[in-house]
Amino acid sequence: MRRKNSSPWGYLGIVIVLGIVAAFAWWFISPAFIDNAVSEPLPVAAVETSPTPATVETNPTVAAVEPQATVENPPAVVADRVLSRGSFYNLAHLSSGEAAVYQLADSTRILRLQNFSVDNGPDLYVYLVPVDPVPNASGSEIPGYFSLGRLKGNIGDQNYELPADLDLSQYKSVVIWCQAFAVPFAAAPLNPP
């Protein structure tokens, strides 16, 4: 007895399933061997200064007095203030570098990851969390977290602007979090300098 030929729809279904599996495998596995490097400078806030009168030497023999000239000063760069900082430690993956919260001269606050490195993975985010140390527990979210968005790169210096109304006293650590699998990759405490 001869077997009946399969329909072309069966082959099409197999191709579609294989395509979906391949796309998922690429999304899941490719970050393990592809690094994403970022190199953002520390933002600088400039504060405008008022014009400073410059003294002009006058010749005492001249009867007319020359008016004083004003010289515009260039904007002064004000040093940023570090509000908190800490070094990254490993949780589920290897990491290194430092997390620091800066307040700029214009009162903007940023979280900066400096000399940062972590093993890459799928769906990585930057969280602020209310605990220190961060438990190395997978499978459930850390209660009370605040997401700063996707991790820009698994290597390098990067900045994340903090909302003006965010109460930083509620957060004790920064966590690199894999949302897809609810896994903490690495964390850094946020301690006063």
Mean pLDDT of 158-178: 97
Distances in whole angstroms, Cα of residue 162 to Cα of each of 90, 110, 116, 159: 24, 5, 19, 9
Residue that the structure tokens 């069966």 belong to: 10
Domain boundaries, the chain: 81-193
What is the pTM for the complete model shown? 0.70
- Contact between 114 and 108 under an 8 Å Cβ cutoff? The reply is no
% of the chain surpassing 90 pLDDT: 57
Could you report the per-residue pLDDT of 127-149, keeping only the tens digit for each?
A: 999 999 999 988 888 999 999 99
Q: How far apart are CA 83 and CA 41, in angstroms?
A: 18
Backbone angles phi, psi at 64, to 5 degrees: -80, 140
Check: CB of residue 37 under 8 Å from CB of residue 155. yes
Dump the DSSP string for 161-175.
Answer: EEPTT--GGG--EEE
At 22, the pLDDT band (50, 70, 90 cuts) reads low
